[in-house]
């Protein structure tokens, strides 16, 4: 009798405190953020029928010596892949491993990354390349040195994005300090090669560009997206332009991603996903939780991205719910 009374009292107290003994309801949306922990600058890719997100490990520069990744089959349930690369695999990288960009070619996966936050041409660092047989790593240094280790056209060699055009040509688009460059990668990703006019690094910097370029193609048009403002501030945001070729010209059109003071602050530095053979698009980005003031406390989120009839990107509504399940068929 005493045991029954004790259990009854425990149940009453638990219910009054808002505690439920019922099994948790199935997860129907991704929720934002999509993963626990401080992660920024996400690169989003589709490999086969899986979604992958590769973010920067958001911490002090000296602690940014590794990268994790996340995979999902439905955008809702995510699996963490710990330490897919770290500085033990890249001897010249010492800190500030930033903004991975991952692409598949010839059955191998190539991870482009920034490292060391170089401030001049006398320092070792810049954009490196690592390679793996699997999208979840482990990745090993591919070149033994930076692919781009100099400051060209005023662009700090960081925030690289790899774009594959319909003709099979791969381009690297990158740059911090308010300057954006594009270059053609050679077939083995060991170097860059000149354009037809002999120029190797072309400046394609649009108005108000700061960092974090992304390029994709839709309906024959080239979209260049980038982050503006300061990465620790409330004015961090994403804008875009549309051009007729990978080298533009790119004239700024509008801001499409920014903070919402009812949801989160500092929304920016993103990538996009297009579901194969559809016109469904998602934007994966980082933002800062409300009330959070530590610059490195950023989380990775996902929301839908839409276009109007003229091909312009509509302003993105950032949410706490995230997105519904979407399995790739």
Q: Are strands 264-274 and 181-185 parallel, antiparallel or unpaired?
A: unpaired
What is the model's pLDDT at position 15? 40
Q: DSSP secondary-structure letter at 195?
A: -
Identify which of 84, 12, 27 has the alpha carbon closest to the alpha carbon of residue 55: 84
> Annotated catalytic residue: which of 86, 117, 211, 228?
211
Establish whether 50 is a catalytic residue: no
Q: Facing residues of 66 across strands?
A: 86
What is the model's pLDDT at position 11? 41
Averaged pLDDT in 10-residue chunks for the chain of 329 residues:
43 41 72 98 98 98 98 98 98 98 98 98 98 98 98 98 98 98 98 98 98 98 98 96 98 98 98 98 98 96 98 98 97
Q: Using only the alpha carbons of the chain, give its radius of gyration.
A: 21
C-alpha span between 244 and 258 (Å, rounded): 26
Establish whether 86 is a catalytic residue: no
Q: Residues 6 or more apart from 294 whose CB is under 8 A from it? A: none
What is the model's pLDDT at position 23? 53
Tokens linked to 192: 């860059």
> Annotated catalytic residue: which of 41, 68, 141, 228?
41
Please tell me the pTM assigned to this model.
0.92
C-alpha span between 65 and 83 (Å, rounded): 9
DSSP-H helix ranges across the chain: 2-16
- Residue with token string 């996903």: 273
Q: Residues 6 or more apart from 130 whose CB is under 8 A from it? A: 85, 89, 90, 110, 111, 113, 139, 140, 141, 142
What is the model's pLDDT at position 26? 81
What is the model's pLDDT at position 247? 98
């Amino acid at each position: 009798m005493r045991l029954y009374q004790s259990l009854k009292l425990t149940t009453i107290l638990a219910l009054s405190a808002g505690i439920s003994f019922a099994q948790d309801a199935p997860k129907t949306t991704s929720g934002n953020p999509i993963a626990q922990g401080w992660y920024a600058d996400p690169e989003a890719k589709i490999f086969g029928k899986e979604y992958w997100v590769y973010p920067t490990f958001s911490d002090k520069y000296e602690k940014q010596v590794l990268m994790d990744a996340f995979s999902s089959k439905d955008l809702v349930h995510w699996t963490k892949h710990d330490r897919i690369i770290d500085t033990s695999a890249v001897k010249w990288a010492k800190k500030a491993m930033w903004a991975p960009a991952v692409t598949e070619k010839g059955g191998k996966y190539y991870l482009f990354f920034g490292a060391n936050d170089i401030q001049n041409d006398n320092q070792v660092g810049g954009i490196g390349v690592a390679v793996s047989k699997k999208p979840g790593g482990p990745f090993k240094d591919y070149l033994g040195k930076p692919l781009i280790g100099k400051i060209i056209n005023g662009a700090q060699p960081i925030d690289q994005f790899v774009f594959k055009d319909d003709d099979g040509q791969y381009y690297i688009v990158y740059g911090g300090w308010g300057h954006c460059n594009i270059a053609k990668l050679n077939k083995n990703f060991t170097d860059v090669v000149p354009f037809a006019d002999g120029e190797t690094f072309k400046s394609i910097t649009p108005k108000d560009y700061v960092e974090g370029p992304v390029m994709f193609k839709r309906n024959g048009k080239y979209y260049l997206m980038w982050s503006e403002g300061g990465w620790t501030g409330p004015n961090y945001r994403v804008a875009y332009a549309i051009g007729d070729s990978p080298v533009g010209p790119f004239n700024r059109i509008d801001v499409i991603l920014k903070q919402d003071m009812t949801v989160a602050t500092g929304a920016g530095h993103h990538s996009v996903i297009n579901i194969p053979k559809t016109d469904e698009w998602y934007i994966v980005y980082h933002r800062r939780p409300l009330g959070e003031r530590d610059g490195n406390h950023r989380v990775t989120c996902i929301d839908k991205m839409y276009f109007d009839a003229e091909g312009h990107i509509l302003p993105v509504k950032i949410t706490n719910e995230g997105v519904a399940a979407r399995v790739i068929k």
